[in-house]
C-alpha cells in the first residue's frame, strides 16, 4: 500500500483550501475522488482515478507501489459526513493521514455571520432523517440536503406540521461562481427551485424545551371542550402499556382532545404520531393542544376509522380511545398493516370490553392482557375528606407473542 492522505478540500473553490491540503495534493502522484472533486486539479498532471466507491478505491490503492503517495480527495472536511469514515473502517488507520478542510457548515454559518458551536446537524445525503424532530427541539438546525430531500421538500414538510413561519436560509453552490443565499419563511421557500449542491439552516425561536420524562400530564394543562379526554391517571397507565420507543410510528384512534396523542408526541424523540378523529369540534381542540405543546410531530387527520387509517404508514403501536362501534374493523386493519403492532385500548362500557375480549379470544396469534383501573379522589366535605370514585376503566393490551 502507498502512503495515503485523505484530504478535505473544503466547499470547492481552491481559495478555501489549507496550505497543508494543497501541499499533500502537489506531493501525491495519484489523486482519487469523484469527478466534481478532482476537476479543479486536473491541470496538476497527476494520475487520476475517478470514483467515490470505497471498495473500488481500496482495490485501486492496493495495486499501487509502497513508495508512492496517493491522496483521496473529499469535499468539505474529512471528519464531517465524508468518505473518510468508511475508508478508515476498511483500511489500516496507521497508513492513513487525515488533512482537514473547511466544512459546508463552517462556510455557510460564516457567510451568515453566526457562530456554529450550538448548531444541530442533520445530513440527508443518501439517508432518511427526522427533520421535523430536529427542528422542533433545536433553535438552529443545519441540514445537508440530497436526492429527493431538497430544500423545498424540507420546507414543505415543515409547513405540513405547522412550522411554516420558521426562518430558513438556503446556501447554493457555496464558494462556486453561482453561489446564492436565500432567506425566508419555510412557507415562502416551499415551492422554490434550488441547486442540487445546497445546504440549509432552519431557525426555530420556540423549540420544545427538554424531554418529557413523566407520564400523565395534569388534566388542567390541556385545552378542554366537549370532546372526551383520557384522564391523567388512565393516560399514565396507557403510556406505560404502550412501551413507546424512539422512532415509533403510533396511531391514536378516536383521539378526542388529544391528551394521549400530545403526550406520545412529546415522548417520541424520533417518532411520529397520527391522531385520527372524526368530530370537527374535537379536531379543533386537537389542533389547539398541538400548538400549545409544540407537538409538531403530531399529525391530525379528520376521518372515521378504519377508513381514515388506510393511507397511513405502518404503525408500531396503536392506542384506541374510541371506536364508534367498529372495533373489530379497526383492529383488523391495524394488524393487516403490522401483525406485530402493540395495541392498547380503553373501555368504559361492558359492550366495548366484551367486543375486545371476544376479538382476542379468536386470535390465537395474539396475546392480550385485561386490567381494570379504579381511581378514587379525596374531596373535602365539611371537616372531613371523602373518597369519590371515578368510573372504572378497562385497559386492554395486546401484541403477538408473550406480553412484556
pLDDT tens digit string along 334-384?
999 999 999 999 999 999 999 999 999 999 999 999 999 999 989 888 888
Distances in whole angstroms, Cα of residue 276 to Cα of each of 9, 243, 358 = 50, 20, 24
| Rounded Cα–Cα distance for residues 182 and 189 (Å) | 9
Q: What is the DSSP letter of 10?
A: B
According to CATH, what is the number of the domain 3-102? Answer: 3.40.1010.10
Give helix then strand counts, H and E, for the chain: 13, 19
Higher pLDDT: 94 or 80? It is 80
Percent of the chain whose pLDDT exceeds 90: 71
**Helix residue ranges, H only, 131-231:** 131-137, 151-160, 186-189
Beta strand 96-99 with 3-8: parallel, antiparallel or unpaired? Answer: parallel
pLDDT reported for residue 129:
63
Task: Name 398's bridge partners.
Answer: 343, 368
| Rounded Cα–Cα distance for residues 112 and 140 (Å) | 13
pLDDT reported for residue 402:
67
Digit-coded pLDDT (tens) for 220-267: 989 998 888 999 999 999 999 999 998 899 999 999 999 999 999 988
Assess contact for 283 and 299: CB atoms under 8 A: no
| Rounded Cα–Cα distance for residues 151 and 11 (Å) | 18
pLDDT reported for residue 211:
61
Give the pLDDT band of residue 296 (cuts 50, 70, 90).
confident
- 3's enclosing H/E stretch is strand 3-8
- 289's enclosing H/E stretch is helix 280-293
Distances in whole angstroms, Cα of residue 344 to Cα of each of 56, 241, 250, 253 = 50, 7, 11, 10
| Rounded Cα–Cα distance for residues 264 and 260 (Å) | 6
Give the pLDDT band of residue 1 (cuts 50, 70, 90).
low
Supply 205's cell numbers: 425561536
| Rounded Cα–Cα distance for residues 244 and 237 (Å) | 12
Residue 299 has pLDDT above 80, yes or no: yes
Maximum Cα–Cα distance for the chain, whole Å? 97
| Rounded Cα–Cα distance for residues 115 and 110 (Å) | 7
Digit-coded pLDDT (tens) for 34-45: 999 999 899 888
The DSSP line for 57-108 is: HHHHHHTS-TT-EEEEEESB-TTSSSTHHHHHHHS-GGGEEEE----HHHHH
- In terms of Cα–Cα distance, which of 258, 362, 273, 359 is closest to 316? 273
Residues of the chain by 3-state class (helix, strand, coil), percent to 5 = 35, 25, 40
Higher pLDDT: 29 or 206? It is 29
What integer is the mean pLDDT of 209-222?
78
On the question of a cis peptide bond just before residue 26, with omega within 30 degrees of 0, the verdict is no
Assess contact for 34 and 95: CB atoms under 8 A: no
Buried b (16+ CB within 10 A) or exposed e, 183-213: eebbbbbbeeebbebbbbbbbbeebbeeebe
| Rounded Cα–Cα distance for residues 35 and 157 (Å) | 32
Q: What fold is seen in the domain 105-203?
A: 3.30.950
Assess contact for 232 and 219: CB atoms under 8 A: yes
| Rounded Cα–Cα distance for residues 304 and 345 (Å) | 17
Higher pLDDT: 132 or 156? It is 156
Residue 128 has pLDDT above 60, yes or no: no
> What's the mean per-residue pLDDT of the chain?
92
Residue 91 has pLDDT above 60, yes or no: yes
pLDDT reported for residue 213:
62
Supply 112's cell numbers: 451568515
Neighbours of 226 (CB within 10 A): 10
Digit-coded pLDDT (tens) for 331-347: 999 999 999 999 999 99
Which residue, chain included where needed, has cell 385500548?
345
Sheet holding 47-50, edge to edge: 47-50, 30-33, 69-74, 3-8, 96-99
Assess contact for 12 and 41: CB atoms under 8 A: no
Residues 6+ apart with CB under 8 A from 8: 21, 74, 75, 76, 77, 78, 79, 80, 82, 84, 98, 99, 100, 101, 102, 103
Kindly state which CATH superfamily the domain 219-400 is placed in.
Answer: Vaccinia Virus protein VP39 (3.40.50.150)
pLDDT reported for residue 14:
86
Domain extents for the chain?
3-102, 105-203, 219-400
Amino acid at each position: 500500500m502507498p502512503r495515503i492522505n485523505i484530504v478535505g478540500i473544503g466547499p470547492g473553490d481552491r481559495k478555501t483550501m489549507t496550505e497543508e491540503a494543497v501541499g499533500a495534493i502537489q506531493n501525491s502522484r495519484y489523486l482519487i475522488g469523484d469527478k466534481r472533486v478532482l476537476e479543479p486539479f486536473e491541470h496538476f498532471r497527476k494520475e487520476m482515478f475517478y470514483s467515490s466507491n470505497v471498495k473500488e478505491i481500496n482495490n485501486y490503492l492496493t495495486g499501487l507501489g509502497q513508495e508512492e503517495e496517493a491522496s483521496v480527495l473529499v469535499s468539505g472536511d474529512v471528519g464531517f459526513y465524508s468518505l473518510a469514515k468508511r475508508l478508515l473502517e476498511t483500511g489500516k488507520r496507521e497508513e492513513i493521514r487525515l488533512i482537514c478542510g473547511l466544512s459546508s457548515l463552517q462556510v455557510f454559518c460564516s457567510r451568515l455571520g453566526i457562530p456554529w458551536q450550538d448548531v444541530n446537524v442533520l445530513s440527508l445525503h443518501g439517508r432518511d432523517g427526522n427533520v421535523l424532530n430536529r427542528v422542533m427541539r433545536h433553535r438552529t438546525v443545519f441540514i445537508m440536503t440530497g436526492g429527493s430531500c431538497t430544500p423545498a421538500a424540507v420546507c414543505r414538510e415543515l409547513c405540513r406540521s405547522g412550522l411554516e413561519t420558521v426562518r430558513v436560509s438556503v446556501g447554493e453552490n457555496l464558494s462556486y461562481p453561482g453561489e446564492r443565499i436565500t432567506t425566508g419563511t419555510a412557507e415562502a421557500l416551499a415551492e422554490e427551485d434550488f441547486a442540487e449542491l445546497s445546504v440549509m439552516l432552519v431557525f426555530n425561536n420556540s423549540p420544545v424545551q427538554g424531554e418529557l420524562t413523566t407520564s400523565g400530564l395534569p388534566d388542567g394543562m390541556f385545552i378542554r371542550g366537549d370532546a372526551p379526554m383520557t384522564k391523567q391517571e388512565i393516560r399514565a397507565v396507557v403510556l406505560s402499556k404502550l412501551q413507546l420507543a424512539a422512532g415509533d410510528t403510533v396511531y391514536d384512534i378516536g383521539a378526542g382532545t388529544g391528551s394521549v396523542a400530545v403526550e406520545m408526541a412529546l415522548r417520541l424523540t424520533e417518532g411520529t404520531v397520527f391522531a385520527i378523529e372524526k368530530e370537527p369540534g374535537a379536531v379543533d381542540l386537537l389542533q389547539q393542544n398541538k400548538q400549545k405543546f409544540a407537538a409538531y410531530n403530531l399529525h391530525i387527520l379528520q376521518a372515521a376509522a378504519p377508513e381514515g387509517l388506510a393511507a397511513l404508514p405502518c404503525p408500531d403501536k396503536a392506542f384506541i380511545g374510541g371506536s364508534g362501534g367498529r372495533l373489530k374493523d379497526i383492529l383488523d386493519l391495524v394488524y393487516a398493516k403490522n401483525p406485530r403492532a402493540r395495541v392498547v385500548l380503553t373501555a368504559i362500557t361492558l359492550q366495548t370490553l366484551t367486543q375486545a375480549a371476544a376479538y382476542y379470544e379468536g386470535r390465537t396469534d395474539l396475546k392480550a392482557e385485561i386490567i381494570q383501573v379504579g381511581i378514587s379522589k379525596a374531596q373535602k366535605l365539611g371537616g372531613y375528606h371523602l373518597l369519590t370514585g371515578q368510573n372504572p376503566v378497562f385497559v386492554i393490551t395486546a401484541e403477538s407473542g408473550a406480553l412484556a
